[in-house]
Every structure is written in structure tokens, then in C-alpha cells.
Chain A
Amino acid sequence: MSMGTETPAQPSAVETAGPPVGPRRGGLPSWLRLPDQTLLRNLLLAVFFGVILWILSENFDSFTNLRLATVAYYFTALAGLTVLTGLNGQISLGHGALMAVGAYSTAILVGRTGFPLGAALAAATAITALTGVAVGAAASRLRGPYLAGATLAFAIGLPGLADRYPKAFGGENGLSVAPPTPPASLGLDFPLERWEAWIACLCALLVFVVLANLLRSRVGRAFRAVRDDEVAAQLAGLNVARTQVLAFVVSAACAGLAGGALVVVTQLAAPGAFQLALSLALLTGIVLGGLGSLTGALWGAIALVYLPQWSDDLAHSFSLSNDVQSNLPLALYGIVLMVVIVAAPQGIQGALRGLARIAHAALRKKPATEEEA
């Protein structure tokens, strides 16, 4: 699923129904190959991933299931952000605040007004999408560092609302919700953490299907066109402002859903979780993983969850002074960020793609008589 930005869409592969005709691709028999219709392919992929995740969650202990759930909601947010920044070229430093909107909406709907969880998550997504309309409309007039500055102000200013209206938003302590109880049909002993992982993974798969389709669609092409050359896109008939806003809304909806999933997993929505550091972490996640790519968003999510853990363990394995030990994970994180960008600017996904290309070329010993599409 390399969502490369360079590959132009081929109308024949997407639009025609039925088995593809034309030059044969290497290797697999037709029944094993994924269909070429985008929606069907992505749904099948989602089912495939869903099965893998189900198997994993059944075998993980409680804590690793929590980690799985965390990776899932990070993926949900990162996928949206990578579409906005990678595909549409808008740098947003405010997606942490959008996650906050989704999180607080979910917390209020579930905790205060007793909405069922599914409806609350859907509503939170919608509310955040609406916020995305407002922010996106403002953002569509701005470019580059000015967009960064405005979204930065948004990221810093919005959590201030929690302190300003403590009765509504719980102030510094935030809002707590009761943990989501697994339905009785799963059995009394069904671990809570596995249920949370299922909910988060479902959100992630949903976002995957929607965005994977969007990337191959006209909307996706519009996003890329506006990113690459605004003037040309406008000349070609695209409404630039509307495209920018749409990209923002899509990414905001993903961030909102991710925020809702965060509330499910942690049972809280507090301003301390949505500081500027979160927005910056999301940004580093999409770049580390590979900009513009959904698989990149997956790598980024894994990195965001496990990199601090590994560097923490590494720091503790040496016996160092307190000051050095507590700061070593941060130092490593900073170094990793700088080194990855300089050495592998396409991120993990880019590096993997490069490896795959090398491997693929090495495997094909004879010169290509068939076209590689």
C-alpha cells in the first residue's frame, strides 16, 4: 500500500470493473490477487488487518492490549494529519487541540448525558469536523509559517478554555468517564483492555478504509494538485480554498475520532494531555513514519508509543545519575528526530520502499519482457 505521491493514477486500473486486462503482472494467480476496484480492495485489506488485530488482541496480556489501543488511536490521528500535510501540503501545529475537541466531546456526551459510546464517538467526530471547517476556513487564507503560527496559537489557546470554564470542562483535572463495559455476550471475564483495544482498532480500520479510498479518488488528486501548484490547479478549475478546507475537515474528523478513542482507552479528557507537545509529537510521527503514506502513519504511531518506552528502558539499563537518567530518553528522542530527517527524509516507509525496490530489482534476474505497471 505505498501511497507514493509520485505515481499518477491510472484510469484503467481504477475505473474498469472486472478482472484487469492488459500486460500481466508478475507472480500471483488471479484468485490470490487483490481486486483493482479501490473500495473493494480496501475493504478486503481492512478485513485482513482486522483479523490480524483480533488474533493479536486475543494473545496479548492486558498491558500490551493497552499499547495496541494506543497505537490504534495514534494511527487514527496520524492518518488524517498525513493526508493534510503530506497530500495537501498544509502544516498544522494544532491537531493536538482538535484531538482535545473530540476527546472532550466524547467525555461530555458519555459522562454527562449518557450517550451510548458508538453514537458519542460519531458525534465527537462530527463536532470536530465542524471545528475543522472553522479552523480550515481561517487556515485556507494562510500559507507556510503563517499557517503554522495560527495553528500553533490554536493548539495553545484551546486548552485554556478548560481553565476558563472549569464547570463545563473540569478545569485542570479534566473530565473522567467510566470505563466502557464489554457487552455481556462476550462473557463476564472479558478483559476490559481487550475491549478497549477492539474499539480503538475499529476506529483505526474505519479511518483506513475511508482515507485509502480518498487517496485514490478525485478528492485525493485535487489535494495533491493544490499542494503541487496552486495556480495550475486553479487554472484547471479546482476551487483551491474549498479543497484546503476539505483537507482540513477530513484530518480534523480523524483527529476527533482519535480523541474519542483516547478517552475510551484512558477514561479521561484533561488539558495536560493536549498541550503543544502532543501536536508536535503528531507532526514528528507523520514525518518519522513517512509523509503522505498510510503505512507511514502506522510506523509513526508505533514509533510514538514505543520509542519513549525503549529509550526509557535503555536509560535505566545503565546506572546513571538521576538527572542524566531522567533526561536521556528525551535526548535520544531529539537525536532520533534529527538523524532520521537528515538520513532518511522519507521516513521509515520511504526507507522500506527503497529496500523493497532493491530487493525487487535483485529478484528479477532477467530483463523485463513484461511491463511493470
Chain B
Amino acid sequence: MNNTRTRALLALAGCLTAAALVASGCGSSSSGGSSAPGVTKTTVLIGSHQPLTGPAAPGYSEIAPAAKAFFEYVNAQGGVNGRKINLIYKDDGYNPTKTVDVVKQLVLQNKVFAIWGGLGTPTHTKVVDFLNSSRVPDLFVSSGCPCWDDGAKHPYTFGWQPNYTIEGKILGQYIKQNFAGKKVGVFYQDDDFGQGGLAGLKEQLGSQIVAAKPYQPTVTNVAPQITAIQKSGAEVLVDFSIPAFTALERLTSFKLGYKPQLVVSNVGIDPTTVGGLLKSFSKGKADTALIEGAITDAYLPSPTDTSNQWIQLFQKIHDKYDAKAPFDGNVEYGMASAYTFAQALKNAGKDPTRQGLVDAVEKGGFTGPGLVPFRYSKDEHGGFGGGQIATIKNGKIVVQGQPMTTDPGTGPITASNMKPAQPGDNGVVKP
């Protein structure tokens, strides 16, 4: 073993390591003051983590590009308070460790003003503590976990979509009123999403639920669960599933000749997505034949409702800035959430600070395409507070009745009389 060679290689190793690491370290940029990093006279820089690749990418990877398209539209009209919104989103592949890495990169290296729409519960829960201790506004997490609704512990974090327990309660109440006495089976994802929904359903339905079978997103064979639910005699089947598993449940039920009344969470019912997956099995009938008549809930207008002014606006933006993506629920979600962010930024005033942005959200009063009001206040950081029951008619989501709101606990479900807003309100966009 040659000592000289050893030392030479060591020195080489050390120098190369140092060079590589220093070289990458020199790439950081800086901007803004300490209370408003990411804000310049003409721009606001925000960041997000999204599953652009990997198993969660289908559907969800459309959300951030749609939001970016919306911001580009707003920027083309002069921006918000004279500043253009610049959204950077990084791929975390739905892997929480990577989420930690990219979010720290966004905050420490890119020095973003705020985080918008971080997607996923197992991913975002990993960065919530970091963002709050670093006092970075963590707005409108793309997940319905009740965990964002904690103004005391996480003052900088806010949800946006209705949380799963609220949704479960609203669907449960509808089943209780319209299918009294009928046995109910639940097919749910074995994580916060499905378990949250099941908790809401149980709060309303209690022992009416005769079978509750969870599935793992990694195991596509759901026949064991569906056969068990069928065997229990359930005449109503509630799916708290993502679109792929709603489709799988439909196919399995079709195979078994099992025809319960279907109730599906808004997460898993987008007719474009589910219909697309069922296309090859419909044999001449509509793609969405297997979900026709399903009951769901909605908190945004249906993407197929071309008479709605918001949909017209989003369609226009989509065709100009995001035309490659299908115009479906995911795209609408991204744009609607971006709209709320633009509103919050506007309300934060001419010289926005991080604390100012948070205060603006807590003050609430946002209106937009939503069918129900938001639950934003000093204590409530929840997002949409309810939904409106809807049915799939001719492959489209058609709302019925009244929008309902409630809380994630044991509070009552009450009708909401919020008046729908128009795109021109609030001065965020000029449609």
C-alpha cells in the first residue's frame, strides 16, 4: 500500500468534495428584506411542492401548471397591487423526504415569500413544523386533512379544500335522510383521507354502516374488499377513494353484478378522470356509464357547466396558458386555489409582509367560485366549510338542494346562504 498515492488520492478527494459543495453553495440568490423575502417592487415569488412524477402524479400533476396559468393571466393584467406573481413548484414525487428537501430549498435558497398549495398529507405534514417555525406563510394546502385547521399550533398554515370529515358528515347526513334503514358499506383509502371521511360518516350514520373495508393505494386488486362489502348486504356503497380506485371499485362491482347506490367523495368522482379510466369497458355506452347516478358533493361549480362565469373564465385561461392539459376538476382546483391566493395577496396591502399575508387570510371574507364559504378566522384555518350534494347526470356533476356547512367535530350541519360571487368582484381579475 503506497503511502504517497494514498495521500495524493486523499487530497484529491478532499479538494474535489470541497469544490463541488462550494460550487453548488455559491448558487444561492438573495432578495428582499427580512420581513418580506421574495417580494420586490414588481414581483412576488412563491413556491410549492407537487407530485409531478411517481404514483401520485396522475391528475394531481395538473394542479400547479393550472395555477401558474392563472397567475400568468393575472400578471398580464398588471398583477396584484402592481406586482407579478411568480410561482415555482418543485417535484417531490409524493416522497416526504424529498418534500422536506425541496421545501427547505424553496425557503432557504430560493427565498420564497410564501408556500402555496403544498400537495399531500403524508408529504406536507413533514414540512409544517419547519414552515411555522421559520414563519413562512403556508397557504391553502392541497389536502383535506383536518390537521391544517390548527390556528394555535400552526398559525401560518391554512387549508383550502373542505376537510374529509366535514365531507363525510355531509354525505352521511344525506344518506341518513334519503336512505334511512338501508345498510351502508364503505370502501375507503387506508390513510387520513379515507379514515377522516369514515369518521364523518360514522358520526352521522352510526350502526347503519355494516361494512367498512380499507384499501392500500399500492395494491390494485380490490376484489377481496368488494366481495366482502357485497356479502354484508350493503345497498348503499360509499367510496372514499381516489379516481383510480373509484374506477377499480366500479369494475369489480360490475364483474360481480353488484349494483348498490353509489356515493363518492369529491376527491374521487371527477367524471373526466374516472370516465377516462372506464372508457374501455363501456362498450358503446358513455364512458361514465358506470358512475351514472352516483351521489357526491361539490364545493366548486362543475367543470362541464359552461353557463357558469367562473368556468368560462377558467376555460379561457386554460386555452391560452395551459392548453395541453385536459380541462377537468384538477385544472379547476388549481385555478380556484390560485384565485384565493391572489385575493389574499391583494388584501395584504401595498407592501405585503409575511405576517400581513397571514393576517389577511385570517380576516377572511373571501368570495370566489366556491359554493360554500371559507372557515378562516383567528382560530379556524380550515378552508371550505362544507359542500353541496350533487348527482352525476349524463356524465356531469349536477348540484341539487342547498349548500351545507358544518365543522369537523360534532357540530350541526346547517344550510349556507352565501351568494355566489362573480369573477369581476374583488378586483383580482378583469374577466
Residues of A within 8 A of B (CB): 1-2, 7, 10, 13, 25-28, 33-34, 36, 45, 48-49, 52, 56, 59-64, 66-68, 70-71, 163, 171-174, 176, 178-179, 193, 262, 266-268, 270, 272-273, 275, 277, 295, 298, 302, 306, 309, 312, 321-322, 326-327, 330, 352-353, 356, 360, 372-373
Contacts and interface: CB of A to CB of B under 8 A. Distances in A.
B97 A25 contact: no
A116 B23 CA distance: 35
Contacts of A295: 9, 13
A193 B1 CA distance: 38
Given A61-B109, A63-B108, A352-B9, 14 more contacts: A1-B6, A2-B5, A7-B1, A25-B4, A28-B4, A60-B22, A71-B21, A173-B191, A270-B96, A273-B97, A277-B95, A322-B52, A356-B8, A373-B1
A27 B130 CA distance: 52
B96 A268 contact: yes
Contacts of A70: 101
A372 B3 CA distance: 10
Contact of B4 (A27, A45, A309): A27
B12 interface: yes
Interface stretch (B117-125, B168-176, B355-363, B381-389): B117-125
A61 B25 contact: yes
Contact of B125 (A13, A45, A173): A173
A306 B20 contact: yes
Most buried by A among B6, B108, B126, B324: B126
Contacts of A25: 2-4
Nearest to A7: B1
B3 A33 contact: yes
B213 interface: no
Contacts of A62: 108
Contacts of A360: 5
Interface string B209-239: 0000000100000000000000000000000
Contacts of B20: 302, 306
B176 to A, nearest CB: 28
Contacts of B101: 66, 70, 266
B95 A1 contact: no
Nearest to A273: B97
Interface of B: 1-10, 12-14, 17-18, 20-22, 24-25, 28, 52-53, 57, 61, 65, 90-91, 94-98, 100-101, 104-105, 108-109, 121-123, 125-126, 129-130, 190-192, 216, 324-325
Contacts of A326: 52-53, 57, 61, 91
25 contacts: A2-B5, A2-B9, A28-B4, A34-B6, A63-B108, A67-B21, A67-B25, A171-B190, A172-B122, A172-B192, A173-B121, A174-B96, A174-B122, A176-B126, A179-B129, A267-B126, A268-B97, A272-B123, A273-B96, A273-B97, A275-B95, A298-B17, A306-B20, A322-B65, A326-B52
Q: Which 4 pairs from chain A and chain B are nearest by CB?
A: A273-B97, A64-B25, A326-B52, A63-B108
B53 A327 contact: yes
Nearest to A353: B9
Given A56-B21, A60-B21, A270-B96, A321 B324 contact: yes
A322 B66 CA distance: 11
A304 B53 CA distance: 18
B9 A1 contact: yes
B8 A322 contact: no
A302 B13 CA distance: 12
B191 A171 contact: yes
A22 to B, nearest CB: 13
A36 B3 CA distance: 8
Given A1-B9, A176-B129, A272-B94, A56 B18 contact: yes
A231 B44 CA distance: 68
B4 A266 contact: no
A330 B24 CA distance: 20
A270 B92 CA distance: 14
A352 B17 CA distance: 14
Nearest to B133: A179
Nearest to A274: B97
Nearest to B18: A56
Contacts of A176: 125-126, 129
A295 B7 CA distance: 13
B18 A2 contact: no
A61 B28 contact: yes
B126 A268 contact: yes
A373 B2 CA distance: 6
Contacts of B25: 60-61, 63-64, 67
A228 to B, nearest CB: 19
B125 to A, nearest CB: 5
